[in-house]
Amino acid sequence: MSETTAIFLHGGPGFKDYLKPFFQDLSSHFKCIFYDQAKGPEVEIGHLLSQLDLHVDASSQPVILVGHSWGAVLAIEYAARYPQKVSGLAMICSGLSHDHWFTEYQKEKEHLGLLNASAEEIFLAPHERAEGKALLDNFWETFSEETFESLNKTYLVDYDLIAKFSTLQIPVLNIFGEMDIRFPSRITKTFSAYNPNVVNLEVKKTGHFPFVQREGRELTWQAPRTAFAKY
């Protein structure tokens, strides 16, 4: 059997890929594909699904999709549309619908006194902020605001994937940070209620980027190698 392909979908929308430095060592287990999602003032969800489909079709067998934040939303949309092309899904710190998480996100900020917080206060756990700020700054240098605004207006403002997520018949690894403010763990923990194929993996003492610390990354990637072994 040929090598399984894992396609990594970065968050945003509007950023360039930032996942490769953290996951490229998985090339010993998978054929890993990292790419920059399309950008522009008129980019919509259909454009990104078509772009992803080109990468999937280049593989000789169904692929594993690994999506972080927005990337997991894109992965679910694709897997629901092309179930025969996807053998497994790993979603990292994401949400299933706007209403499902946004109210809890606002409550979490208010509870922690972070209503006017900086990006590093929202996306990083307190002990990650000193070193993590430089990481976020690098991400923001690649950000396309026009891409984000286009997808926010045409999709993100009212997206709801719960019904589609419930139909997935593939292994789903749901990875989330214990201290993530953007997508509070009390929300992400509930995903298994919508699909019996979900395995939850909470990475302790991490925020929205549970793969940044080596300890967190090593923990995170024990489960996919097991959950997706039959593929």
pLDDT at 41: 96
β-pair partners for 172: 89, 198
Q: What are phi and psi of 190, to 5 degrees?
A: -85, -5
Query: Which CATH number is associated with domain 5-227?
Result: 3.40.50.1820
156, 167, 230 from 195: Cα distances, Å: 22, 7, 19
SS3 for 8? strand
Residue 183: per-residue pLDDT: 96
The end-to-end CA distance of the chain, in Å, is 10
Burial track 55-81 (b if 16+ CB lie within 10 A, e otherwise): ebeebeebbbbbbbbbbbbbbbbbbbe
Strands of the 198-203 sheet, one edge to the other: 31-34, 5-9, 63-68, 86-92, 172-177, 198-203
What residue segments make up the domains of the chain, in order of their start?
5-227
pTM of the model: 0.92
**Per-residue model confidence (pLDDT) at position 121:** 93
Q: What is the pLDDT of residues 144-197, one digit of tens each?
A: 999 999 999 999 999 999 999 999 999 999 999 999 999 999 999 999 999 999
User: For the chain, which residues score pLDDT lower than 70?
Assistant: 1-2, 213-231
**CA 83 to mean position of chain CA atoms:** 18
